[in-house]
Amino acid sequence: MLPNVSRPNATDHVPVLADEVREALAVHPGETVVDATFGAGGHAELIAADLQGSGKLIAIDRDPSVRTYFDHAARTGITRRFLRGEFSDVLEQLAANGSRADAVLFDLGVSSMQIDRPERGFSYATDAPLDMRMDPGAETSARELVNEASERELTRIFREYGEERYARPIARAIVRRRRERPFERTGELVDTIKAAIPAPARFGDGHPAKRVFQALRIAVNDELGSLETALPSALAMLRPGGRLVVISFHSLEDRIVKRFLRSRERGCTCPPDFPICVCGHEPELRALSRRPVKPSPQEQAANPRASSARLRAAVKTGNDE
């Protein structure tokens, strides 16, 4: 049975799928656990509690403001290390240096602390500077992308990353409007999106700017590319029996995770008419469930932002070298 952990109050960050994450990670005292997306430290607090004073927590995040949360996290006697940077780069370096881990957690997407800070420009609900960078020091922000990308490129971004039905007319409206003056604020972009789509679509499922904002955020932060690079590095770090847990928040992320897990679950890749295996390929992962784990109705009611969360988990197979 998992030990009890005090829940944060209403003003604290509430980790998504907290109990499900703890069960999938199955952390034991003395282990090394990597939280590849530390954020406000909600999941890390649970991991630290399960280490029970013995073990190591490696926290990774590209957002420099996260360091404050890490520094003020409860001290539990474990070894703690914070590595600032894009998780794909950090994990790749750790794996190359021979670092090993017993569990790796990814909680993908934008964190509540970023959404709730208007100056970061992630939210379509509040007028703010058009930014969306998870690392404020990154070169390209949403402002540069909206003002400089071609109509064709904007259409591709909105369609591919946001699955936006009206990608082309929205891109055309953006290019037309920026000829008059460049976009500076989220409110200007929201107004342009609303004006570019048919009236009935403005009152459909969710906010009319939701998909475009998602697409821009993914493009600005190269979220899908980073995930595809990071998963093999995380697997390389895991010891046999180690657990890989990924929480995604939209179908594009989940598709990447699902495809990766299934490709690494495959055994022999020889043609079916071969009498014996000659490839020697062995499965590297074993999925803990065939379908993603979703938040309970109770959690969705208490934390609406958790509604789209999907958790996939797997265990590394094989023997230690």
Instruction: Please give the residue that has the higher pLDDT: either 318 or 156.
Output: 156
At residue 12, the pLDDT reads 53
In CATH, the number for domain 120-221 is 1.10.150.170
For residue 173, pLDDT beyond 90: yes
Nearest 5°: the CA angle 263, 100, 112 is 75
At residue 267, the pLDDT reads 75
Instruction: Please give the residue that has the higher pLDDT: either 85 or 136.
Output: 85
CATH code 3.40.50.150 region(s) in the chain: 18-113+223-316
**pLDDT tens digits, one per residue of 139-154:** 999 999 999 999 999 9
Structure tokens at 251: 């179908």
At residue 80, the pLDDT reads 95
Percent above pLDDT 90 for the chain? 73
* Helix-helix angle 223-237:251-265, to 10 degrees: 30
At residue 199, the pLDDT reads 86
Instruction: Please give the residue that has the higher pLDDT: either 267 or 320.
Output: 267
At residue 259, the pLDDT reads 97
Contact 158, 211 (CB under 8 A): yes
Q: Supply the pTM of this predicted model.
A: 0.88
Instruction: Calculate mean pLDDT across residues 170-189.
Output: 97
For residue 13, pLDDT beyond 80: no
Which of 245, 250, 253 lies closest to 223 in space, CA to CA? 253
Question: What is the secondary structure of 145-178 as a DSSP string?
Answer: HHHHS-HHHHHHHHHHHH--TTHHHHHHHHHHHH
* Average confidence score pLDDT of the chain: 89
Instruction: Please give the residue that has the higher pLDDT: either 273 or 298.
Output: 298
At residue 1, the pLDDT reads 43
Contact 114, 142 (CB under 8 A): no
Distances (CA, A) of 1 to 18, 21, 27, 47, 105: 15, 14, 12, 14, 20
d(CA 25, CA 245): 7
Contact 53, 76 (CB under 8 A): yes
Q: Which residue has the tokens 């004006």?
A: 195
CATH code 1.10.150.170 region(s) in the chain: 120-221
> How is domain 18-113+223-316 classified at the CATH fold level?
Rossmann fold (3.40.50)
For residue 15, pLDDT beyond 80: yes
At residue 116, the pLDDT reads 60
